[in-house]
Amino acid sequence: MTLDLSRFQAKGIETCFHGRHVGAQIYAGLDGRNWRYADYVARGGYTALRKILGLDGGPGMTPEQVIAEVKASALRGRGGAGFPTGLKWSFMPRNFPGAKYLVCNSDEGEPGTCKDRDILAYNPHIVIEGMAIAAYAMGIRTGYNYIHGEIFEIYERFEQALDEARAAGMLGERIGGSEFSFQLHAFHGFGAYICGEETALLESLEGKKGQPRFKPPFPASFGLYGKPTTINNTETFAAVPWIINHGGQAYLECGKPNNGGTKIFSVVGDVNQPGNFEIPLGTPFAKLLELAGGVKGGALKAVIPGGSSAPVLPAKVMMDLTMDYDAIAKAGSMLGSGAVIVMNDTRCMVKSLLRLSYFYQHESCGQCTPCREGTGWLWRVIHRIEHGQGRPDDLALLDSVAANIKGRTICALGDAAAMPVEGMLKHFRDEFAHHVEHKTCAVPQYV
């Protein structure tokens, strides 16, 4: 039976062909049509894989040399937590006797984020090559790419790219005639946000309900089917061929210390030209805003700099920030998935938070009490504040519920639900207090 998933398909415009990238590596040279194997090879694709395997007469690279290069690059995971990729790869037990797995996280459910979708649609071979290099470095023979269920056409495109890579001998048994074999498969989820959490993803990949596992044990020792597994984000794998071709040091120098390379930001919300922008880490936020055509419909009020889980930051903080993991963390938020949600001064923060909190209470998998009960509790309190029924102690109640979710749950979805509440109350408490006291909004257009 053919499964008709057409009603789940995204119908957005292509978001990465505007040419306003700075030093692009992953999106460089894409036009929407040149996604095929031959196009990728014409752009220099698969040279990194050929280089490590010594297919073009070079000495090749040992797995240890590949990992050392990725470590030197200061590549940090692009899925949200920013964990150093080379270090993660070094956790994989090299001499484990049984099966080991490599998994690409293309679930991309974080509100505002749409960068991985464009990588897979318009440059799928860069992910295949990155995964093959990772597999070689960690001695893995089997991999899966877990693709978000609501972008089914991307899943189909990736399947086509896999067929092409297999036909060209860049995937499968004895790649390019070398001793290295790697089988890669595509898998599609069904659109649950929680399946982006790595252990929920593994459960889902095993055919079970997508609910996070307790950690430890971590996937490096107990992952897919209980075997050692390394999971990285789509953009993380896509960064690897450039690192191998140009060297870890060159990649590091594209960004700033501890924040190597370029990063793709999905700039959404109140901007004139939303889209995906690939820029060096450490680029000023003001420059990114300019690339996105500036603020639309009013003055800049606030920005959520790293996907909806990241605490909001006011305009004056953002305008002095550079876009990198360390600078944003120092300012009290996080770079997360790289979705930059821009809000102008006609936005009511209570209403915005109501929408965010609805999302988290809806997406909680329900396994742990603080998240299951707390996310709904947050939403109900914000709902009554927004609708003129706020109580005098509601802001303190929000503080308390958020604080009691954080750090008390199996996975980080609990924190992801609490942090937007904390950020809004930290920077825009007056707006919430106004709603409670006056039963109406402080933003003129909503009064």
Residues lying near ligand FMN in the complex (CB under 6 A): 77-81, 83, 88, 105, 107-110, 194, 196-198, 231-233, 236, 411-413, 416
Quick count: other Cβ atoms within 10 Å of Cβ 206? 11
Residue with token string 């790419």:
145
Q: Which is nearer to ligand FMN, 76 or 435 (CB)?
A: 76
Q: Which is nearer to ligand SF4, 315 or 365 (CB)?
A: 365
State phi, psi for 211 to the nearest 5 degrees. -125, 135
Number of alpha carbons in the 13 Å side-chain half-sphere of residue 33 = 0
Cα 275 to Cα 285: distance, rounded to the nearest angstrom: 15
Q: Which is nearer to ligand SF4, 372 or 384 (CB)?
A: 372
Residue nearest ligand SF4, Cβ-based: 371
- Among ligand SF4, ligand FMN, none, what binds residue 78 when CB lies within 5 to 8 Å by partner kind? ligand FMN
Q: Which tokens go with 148?
A: 């978000």
Cβ 308 to ligand SF4 shortest distance, Å: 15
What is each CA distance from 46 to 31, 152, 256, in whole angstroms? 19, 26, 27
Residue with token string 């809806």:
362
Asked if residue 264 lies in contact with residue 27, where contact means CB atoms within 8 angstroms, the answer is: yes
Cα 225 to Cα 207: distance, rounded to the nearest angstrom: 11
> What 3-state class would DSSP assign to 233?
strand
CA terminus-to-terminus distance, the chain: 53
Cβ 229 to ligand SF4 shortest distance, Å: 19
Cβ 412 to ligand FMN shortest distance, Å: 4
Cβ 364 to ligand SF4 shortest distance, Å: 4
Cβ 233 to ligand FMN shortest distance, Å: 3
Cβ 202 to ligand FMN shortest distance, Å: 10
Residue with token string 């006056």:
438
Cα 361 to Cα 385: distance, rounded to the nearest angstrom: 17
Residue type, 352: S
- Among ligand FMN, ligand SF4, none, what binds residue 416 when CB lies within 5 to 8 Å by partner kind? ligand FMN
- Among ligand SF4, ligand FMN, none, what binds residue 196 when CB lies within 5 to 8 Å by partner kind? ligand FMN
Q: Which is nearer to ligand FMN, 57 or 216 (CB)?
A: 216
Residues that bind ligand SF4 (CB under 6 A): 194, 212, 364-368, 371-372, 409-411, 413-414
Cβ 373 to ligand FMN shortest distance, Å: 17
- Among ligand FMN, ligand SF4, none, what binds residue 431 when CB lies within 5 to 8 Å by partner kind? none
- Among ligand FMN, ligand SF4, none, what binds residue 371 when CB lies within 5 to 8 Å by partner kind? ligand SF4
Q: Which is nearer to ligand SF4, 111 or 275 (CB)?
A: 111
- Among ligand SF4, ligand FMN, none, what binds residue 283 when CB lies within 5 to 8 Å by partner kind? none
Quick count: other Cβ atoms within 10 Å of Cβ 160? 14
The 3-state secondary structure of 369-394, one letter per residue: HHHHHHHHHHHHHHHHHHCCCCCCCH
